[in-house]
Amino acid sequence: MIELIPAIDIIDGKCVRLSKGDYDSKKIYNESPEEVAAELEAHGIQRLHVVDLDGAASHHIVNYRTLERIASRTGLRIDFGGGVKSDEDLRIAFECGAQMVTGGSIAVKNPETFKRWLNTYGPEKIILGADVKDNMIAVSGWKEDSRLELTTFLTDYTQQGVSKVICTDINRDGMLHGPSTRLYCDIRQQFNDLYIIASGGVSSMDDILELEENDIPAVIFGKALYEGRITLQQLENHIINHH
């Protein structure tokens, strides 16, 4: 079964969503991310993707108290990203209850630090964030494009021991136009052993089933859930039917 990973994006301690990473497009869905997390857990979800959007826009972790509240009030396995730029940020994230941390911008801009984290904590705890726009890697909350091509980036890091990657197609993120299934299938063919977590564009349960049929191991989704296009009941049924 495909691993279902709802996303909670946080600005000012509230649960929000953006479109294509544009901060001006933010929409607040809930004042209490920990309530959202508890409700997801009650419907059988076991894993959560938490993004500190304030952290992504600044250069350090910001909403760690919110992370701590989610972690202390649920038993969810949390992967945390957004603004984790230093050893101190990483320490705070793990201390506040994250089981895994996703590094995107840092993996591009400061590969030595990212590789050291990978060696220190292991590939189960350190996830590579590959945000893609037209096959190139984008960084810093997508405000800038790098000169890195996706395949080169993934080749380098799988050789360094990365085993999990969150791959987000920026052009689709928050747009509800369906995921880049072709992109994920291509990555899957090139990198057999990589645990690919598809992210961006999921608009319905059908999109999730399509990824599942194509053997994509995991999927992150957010807006579709908050806009009611995917219901908690649908998620629960999917989980029950696969056990």
Run of H or E residues at 42: helix 33-42
**Which residue of the set 54, 79, 131, 169 is catalytic?**
131
- Distance CA(209)–CA(127), nearest Å, equals 24
Helix/strand/coil (H, E, C) string of the chain? CCEEEEEEEEECCEEEEEECCEEEEEEEEECCHHHHHHHHHHCCCCEEEEEEHHHHHCCCCCCHHHHHHHHHHCCCEEEEECCCCCHHHHHHHHHCCCCEEEECHHHHHCHHHHHHHHHHHCCCCEEEEEEEECCEEEECCCCEEEEEEHHHHHHHHHHCCCCEEEEEECCCCCCCCCCCHHHHHHHHHHCCCCEEEEECCCCCHHHHHHHHHCCCCEEEECHHHHCCCCCHHHHHHHHHHCC
9 among known catalytic residues: yes
131 among known catalytic residues: yes
Q: Show which residues are catalytic.
A: 9, 131
